[in-house]
Structure 1
Amino acid sequence: MKLIACTEGHSSKIEAFSLEMIAAARSIAQAGDEVVAFFAGRDAEGASASFGAADRLIVARATKSDVIPAETYALLLRDVITAESPGLVLVPYSANGLDVAADIAARTGWPLVSYVNEIKRHGESLTIVAQMYGGKILAECEMQLPAILMINPGAFAEAAPGAITAVSVQTIDADPALTSGKVKMVAIDVPDYADVDLTTAERIVCVGRGIGDEASIDLARNLATMLGAEIAGSRPVVDNGWLPKLRQVGKSGQKVKPKLYLALGVSGAPEHLEGMSQADLIIAVNTDPKAPIFNVAHYGATCDLFDLVANLSDRLRAGSGR
């Protein structure tokens, strides 16, 4: 059986979750199966240099656009599915993947399960554990192959990056599909990270809706200073104007991988987890014991974040003699 792992990248950068898709496929591949990575974009060389964990790589190479719209990506993927006849297609939970997975499921008639955390294979059937209601509930379901799964970022460890042999790479032309598509890329607006680049921070203190108001962020900011950390926020915090956009972590913000990630009052929606679940050490503080952030946290506390911040700050001051 063939398993197709969908990957993404743009601006000469391969998305880290691409390696997770390959790892997910490899984790359930059986003897005689073939893991096929699919990439659509301009950086064919980057894909070839990164996806060595796959058995084969199919590159839909574009020369006219750095970003492949979901409409075009889905069209190219449908052609690959027709040619390869896979038993399983894995799509990342991303802005692109949300549209692509649904499109492919509608056109193939195959079952689709989204927000997948775990996969177990039993011959030609799968047992899936997936998130519901923003991750507050984990649902287990059975499905028959062929099927489509949309995988949560962070659910699987990244496959080891490495080059794939040239004979295992098949290249197709993506430009005709881009030209005929209704969605066109006009421009790429890249934020100016001169003030802060969370992707390089070794320690991050992130505040969520549970911080209450803008003034309370100063408590977390002071703690971050004592820890030598950067202050960051979840989307609700940024949407309220309490922190600038450059300090947002998540799908529509920055994707970070610090050595320490302290989440204060962050519930842990899938969009947020996508941006931080690969941190080396995650400590979560939330009064809701069922908050999804605890599914990825290494340590957690179900207490009032203000009590914890105050006590931790006192300990740090005492230890430093200040």
Structure 2
Amino acid sequence: MDQIKWGIIGCGNVTEVKSGPAFNKVANSSLVAVMRRDAEKAADYAQRHNVPKWYANADELINDPEINAIYIATPPDAHEELAVKAMKVGKPVYIEKPMALDGAECDRINAFSRESGVPVFVAFYRRSLDYFLKVKELVESNVIGDVRFVNICLQWQPYEEETGPDPKPRWRVDPKISGGGHFHDLASHQFDLLEFVFGPVKYASGIARNQAGLYEADDIVVANYEFESGVLGNGSWCYTINKEQREDQAQIIGSKGRITFSFFEKFDIKVETESGTETFNIPYPQHVQQPLIDSIVKELRGEGKCPSTGESGARANHIMDWITKK
């Protein structure tokens, strides 16, 4: 491909800043059309973002001859169907995370990709952000010695619509639409990044429960996991605490020190060794998916490789399935 001309299916909130504008800012890339089932919202998005065309029907966008690559930004329950439809007409797909409802759906997407020869990429954009590349560099530099274990703690307060007098759960906590709860949405980023740094997880188990009864999905998860490299890990995720208890921290413990960082909210990386403490402050770019989208465009043009493929993206789903015993 010379020029990558994108179509977005599902132009919701994630596409407003994180991804959508980046398609026009990457070299040899442009956003040609967007689709949303609500025609008025699709037209509004197109107007606000200077997108030439909009659709209210996914099939029409997929079959638009001007479009040669498709970004699927719908909830996970539609990912498999839309990805296969796009690949059937030879168009590479870039799928929002988590890749699908579960590992089985991811495997079917990847099987079709292998059979058709049409590539799949997944929006695990942390693999291309300088902040997380620095974490990986620090681990590989052996500054904290041999890594012994990893700990994740993510505590989050419920969203307002989940706690009001007439609670209205978001689609992210409807397992039929999202595949799980907030754990499924956020831990997918975490496990993908951990495999990027430490290699494959060979074992994971956990307990997933719904304690607060705000919605159907689990709201607390604890887990243990082991990498093929021998590094061990554990984690806890709770989404029903008060705002003052909110915490987003990960620690990598080595034989000679410790790295502390955040997956979502903070831009500091702290390294503690016998020599002292060093802090790196590395903010995210304005459009956090832009570096990954740039790598996708380069791969499609034969100029490089994207670090987040369908095969790597499916791994996070499988790990979460093991933990929640799907």
If the length of structure 1 is used for normalisation, what is the TM-score?
0.33
If the length of structure 2 is used for normalisation, what is the TM-score?
0.33
Select the structure with the greater relative contact order (CA < 8 A; seq sep ≥ 6). Answer: 2
Pick the structure with greater CA Rg.
Answer: 1
